[in-house]
Amino acid sequence: MEKPPGSEIEIFRDFIKKKGLRYTPEREVILREIFNIHDHFDVDELYLRLRNKGHRISKASIYRTLPLLIECGLVQEVYHEDGHMHYEHIYGHEPHAHFRCLSCRRVEEFRDERLEEVAREYAERYGVEIKMTRFEILGYCSSCRGEEG
């Protein structure tokens, strides 16, 4: 049941402790479920998955836990669509950008090191400290292009 050192569990527990907060079962269950989802997700989907597994975690707790997971770098806001935010776990994954089709809504991930380079150089030049970066391409995928007009 114990996760090895350096795992998301340990990172989260250390973060919680360091902030003087309490490491609760609810917080751990939310974290575990998020790392079971290997896709982008929203609050409602996460909530339903937890319920379907028999957990009685309130949405309020999810809304309270997400900012903590983001603050400690395990989770990111990916994009805002259909009036609500979509998230993904990022710990253990390489940084990546997203292409979103405006027609079929498919989301593709891709990696390009030049993006990190751009961010790194900006940080260097202006003396800012980077917490995260986000690069999105919105458009029409190869199947959907041509249908817009």
Q: Between 92 and 139, name the residue whose CB sits nearer to a second copy.
A: 139
- The pair of structure tokens assigned to 19 is 């902030």
Query: Which of a second copy, DNA, Mn ion, none has residue 56 at its interface (CB below 5 to 8 Å by kind)?
Result: DNA
Q: Between 75 and 101, name the residue whose CB sits nearer to Zn ion.
A: 101
Name the nearest CA neighbour of 30 among 50, 2, 45, 5: 50
Number of neighbouring beta carbons within 10 Å of residue 30: 25
- Contact positions with DNA (CB under 7 A) in 2-31: 16-17, 20-27
The answer to the question of residue 138 lying near Zn ion (CB under 5 A) is no
The answer to the question of residue 144 lying near Zn ion (CB under 5 A) is yes
- Contact positions with a second copy (CB under 8 A) in 60-119: 77, 80, 85, 97, 99, 101-102, 108, 110, 112, 114-115, 117-119
Range in contact with DNA (rule: CB under 7 A) among 54-62, 101-109, 123-131, 140-148? 54-62
Type and span of the H or E element at 62: helix 59-71
| Residue position matching structure tokens 């790194």 | 120
- Contact positions with Zn ion (CB under 5 A) in 78-107: 101, 103-104
Question: CA 135, CA 78: separation in Å to the nearest integer?
Answer: 9
Q: Compute the residue count for the chain.
A: 149
76 neighbors 133 (Cβ within 8 angstroms):
no
CA angle 124, 132, 88 (to 5 degrees): 160
Residue 123 C-beta: closest distance to a second copy, Å: 7
Number of neighbouring beta carbons within 10 Å of residue 91: 17
The answer to the question of residue 53 lying near a second copy (CB under 8 A) is no
List of residues contacting DNA (CB under 7 A): 16-17, 20-27, 42-44, 56-61, 63-65, 82-85
